[in-house]
Amino acid sequence: MLGRLAPSNHNPATGLKNLLTEIRPAIVSTIIFAIVCCGLYPLAFTGIAQLAFADTANGSLILDKNGTLIGSSRTTNELAAAQAVPRKSIASPKPAA
pLDDT tens digits for range 40-80: 999 999 999 889 987 777 777 778 888 888 777 776 555 55
Q: How far apart are CA 42 and CA 36, in angstroms?
A: 9
Task: Provide the pLDDT confidence category of residue 92 given band limits of 50, 70 and 90.
Answer: low
Domain ranges of the chain: 12-82
DSSP-assigned beta bridge partners for residue 62: 71
Q: Give SS3 for 14.
A: helix
Q: Strand order of the sheet with strand 61-63?
A: 61-63, 69-72, 77-78
DSSP-assigned beta bridge partners for residue 72: 61, 77
Is residue 78 within 8 A of residue 71, CB to CB? The reply is: yes
pLDDT attached to residue 10: 63
pLDDT over 80 (residue 83): no
Q: What is the pTM of this model?
A: 0.48
pLDDT attached to residue 59: 74
